[in-house]
Structure formats: structure tokens, C-alpha cells
Amino acid sequence: MPATKDQTQPQLLFVDGSFEELAAEMADYLKAEDAKQLLEKDPKKDEVLAKLVAAASALNSVPEKEFTAASNLMIHLVMQSADPKKYLPSLCSVLAKPLANSPVNGPALSLNALTTVFNLLEPSSPIRARVFMEILKFLKAHTMFDALRPYLDKMAAWMEEWDISEEMQQQIYEEVADVALESGEETQAYEFILRALRTLDADDQEELTSEDAQRLSLRALKMALLSPTHYLFQDLRAIPSVQALSDSHPIYAQLLDIFAEQDLEDYNDFNEEHEGWIDQQKLDHDRLHRKMRLLTFASLAAATPSRELEYTRIAKALQIPSEEVERWAIDVIRAGLVEGKLSQQRGMFLVHKVTYRVFSQTQYRELANRVDHWRSTLQNVLTVLRQEQANAKAQRERELQEIERKLNGVGMGGERNQDRRRAHQQREPREPREPRERNDNDD
């Protein structure tokens, strides 16, 4: 795929020889007799190139092992022109056709040749955008989105560097979306359709209501509605060209509002009011109905301050039998709209976390009510904790006083006993000692 370029242009092809010599070699290889005759008459370079490019379709039938060398030589010759853009569209069309005799490696060889053309152009050249479009068409035709994936983040910088028109940017982004969609990458496709819409001038009402802008807006809306993974619509409603659908396609705008912030009952009313319209627009009623139930479940969970949803409330809101509530609860969790767990014994769904579909005044009020509820709960908990702390402190003080009292009692009792022993010893008479006999050593 395209290489990122610095200020200096790298040498990507190694070709030796004058233009005349290389052109003659190419004319022989392609059997381009008109070009060979011109070369014998000292012709102008562009005249020879025109003949060679006209004969370049022969590259689609050369042996596989010769294709890269032959295509590189043809690319080199075209790049010698003072105005390569005259020949590059035709050459790219030729290179985009894989080798007829190489069903396995042909697409990769063709992509490599197209990439070589892209990388040989100056980084700021607007011609790069045209070549890139050819690469995108090739990738779409061969479902090769993975080859494009590493370069998606560079595209915005490339287009700014090329300084191309908004219209061209829209075309490129939409082509990328087509490549992604062809490979089953619906999320990526939707993202690039939105990028295309965001290139429109929000202050230019004429541009926002143009046929292309409205076509892209409807395409984005349909993709969002039918996507099995897309449940939030605020990003889409914020785009000016989508907002303009309220005038050009009011029914679509009404449907978008329902999926953005209303519930299943509103969707059913819409179907009754516009009977048959969903089928006429090929929007798949079953898929939309299922998504609307999941969104209704999410809204119900978000609007419940206690975070405890009775099975009966869920069944009523989703218009389903009570025995199906648990299945829908599992589905809404898998969709990433709600986190929680089922309490079969209590017949409750316990909400842990919920995704808000829209954050309007209603949601702000709900959040304020929930914050008040949490504040009241926390205050009650804090009061209980403080009371328990006070009780624990009083208990410790009582225990310390009791220990001190006991210690004081032991100390006073010990001193009295010692006094009694000393008094008893003073009153008790001593036994008389027997006289010792004198001997000669006594003086």
C-alpha cells in the first residue's frame, strides 16, 4: 500500500538508460509498432508515450514473473513526461486488471504496481488523490480492505497535503466506505460515511441540501438504523446535512428521532401512521423492531432511580410475555446498553450501569433525581456510621474506666496487707538464746 513520504523523494525504481533506449525496449516488448516507427523519426517524448500507453493493455497477458519488471519500466517512462496526469488514468486502468494467467498472485501484483505509481508522485501532488481513488476501486473489486486498514489514520493528513476539494474528499471517504462494506466491515463503513458528511460546509445551506449531501445523509441514516451494533444516534443527529432531512425527507427525520430518544410505543405508532412505508424503503421491519425493544429496555433502566426493574414493567414496555423478559435482558446486556443481573427469586432486573441514548433536559432531571436519592442514602449511611462510632467510643471509655478501677483496687489491697505483716512482726517476742560456754581462747 502507499508509503508515507518525507521531504525528500526516495528512489523507488532502479532503471538505467535514456528515454529513447528504454522506450524502444518497451515498444519491442509490447509489440507497439506505432511507437517503434515514431522512435525512428526523432519524435517528441509525449507522442511516444501516447502510443506506448495505448499498447499497455498487453501487460495483462505477460508471464507472471515478468510483470513487475515490465510494469515498472512502463511507470518509469510515463513519469518522464512533463505532465504525467495525461497518461496515468489510462495506465492505472490497465494495471488495475490482474494478470489473466495469474489467478492467485495477480491481484497482489496489480496492487503493487498501483502502489508504485502512488509512491512515485510527489507527496503534495493532487494527482495522488486520483491514483488513490483507482487503488480504492481495485481494493473494493477484490475485497482487500485489510490492505487498506493500516493507512486509514493517515488519510486525513494526506488529503490536507494534497489540498483537494471538499467534493473530492467526499468521494474518497465514500469509496473507502464502499471498500469496507464490501469486506463486511460495517462499522468502518459507517465511520467513513460520517467523515464524508463532515466535509460539508455547515454554513452553506445550498450545499447541505444538495442532492449528493442528502443522498449521503440518507445512506448514513439507513446504515445506522440497520446496523446490528449501532444503538446511539446523537452523533448522526448532530450533522447539519442530516438535520436538513427534516425538510427534504421528513418521514426519515421522524424515524431518526424515534430511534434517538423515544420508545417502542412511538415506533408502533409511526408504523400505523405510515403503513407500508418501512417495507417500501427496504428497511427490514423485524430488525428495526428488535432494536427498538432493546433501546426501550435501556431507556427504562436509565429512568429507574432505584435501579430495580420488575419483570412486569419490562414485559409491559417491551410488549412481550413475562417469560421472555430474561432473554431480552441477556440481549440488552450483550448489546452493551445495560449492565446488571437477574434476580429470578424476586422477579427483578438489578441495574448496575446503563448507557444514555440522549442527554436532554429530561435526562438531566433524571440524573438530578438520582443524585438526590444517592445524597439522601449517603447521608443516612453517614448518620448511622457516626452513631456507631460514638457508641464504640463510649464503650471503649467504659472498658478503660473498668480496667483502671480494678487496677486501683488491687494496688490499695496490697499496701494494707504489707502494713499488717510489719505490725505483727513488731508485736511477736523473740526467743532467748542459750549462753555460750567460755574456753581458753576467750579473753
Q: How far apart are CA 88 and CA 215, in angstroms?
A: 30
The separation between the first and the last C-alpha atoms of the chain, rounded to the nearest angstrom, is: 134
For every one of its 443 residues, what pLDDT tens digit does the chain have, with 9 covering 90 and above? 555 444 344 445 566 788 889 999 999 999 999 888 888 887 788 899 999 999 999 999 999 999 999 999 999 999 999 899 999 999 999 999 988 888 889 999 999 999 999 999 999 999 999 999 999 999 999 999 999 999 999 999 999 999 999 999 999 999 999 999 999 999 999 999 999 999 999 899 999 999 999 999 999 999 999 999 999 999 899 999 999 999 999 999 999 999 999 999 999 999 999 999 999 999 999 999 999 999 999 999 998 888 899 999 999 999 999 999 999 999 999 999 999 999 999 999 999 999 888 766 665 666 667 677 778 888 889 889 989 998 888 888 888 888 888 888 765 555 555 555 555 555 555 555 555 555 555 44
Q: What percent of the chain stands above pLDDT 70?
A: 86
Nearest Cα to Cα of residue 81 among 52, 56, 123, 118: 52
Per-residue pLDDT reduced to its tens digit, 376-391:
888 889 889 989 998 8
Distance between CA 367 and CA 439 in Å, rounded?
117
How far, in Å, CA of 190 to CA of 225, rounded?
Answer: 11
Cα 389 to Cα 376, 385, 395, 398: the distances in Å are 20, 6, 10, 14
Q: Which pLDDT belongs to residue 432?
A: 53
The DSSP symbol for 229 reads S
Over the stretch 321-332, which tens digit does the pLDDT of each residue have? 999 999 999 999
